[in-house]
Amino acid sequence: MRMSYKNYAHADVLILNFNGKSLLKRCLDSVLKTDYPDFEIFVIDDGSSDGSVEFVRKRYPGVKLVEIGRNIGVAAAYNKVIDGLSSEFVAVLNK
Q: From first to last of its 95 residues, what are the pLDDT tens digits of the chain?
A: 555 556 889 999 999 999 999 999 999 999 999 999 999 999 999 999 999 999 999 999 999 999 999 999 899 999 999 998 988 899 999 86
Fold (topology level) of 11-93: Spore Coat Polysaccharide Biosynthesis Protein SpsA; Chain A (3.90.550)
- The maximal CA–CA distance of the chain, rounded, in angstroms, is 41
Per-residue pLDDT, 4: 54
Predicted TM-score (pTM) of the model is 0.88
Per-residue pLDDT, 3: 52
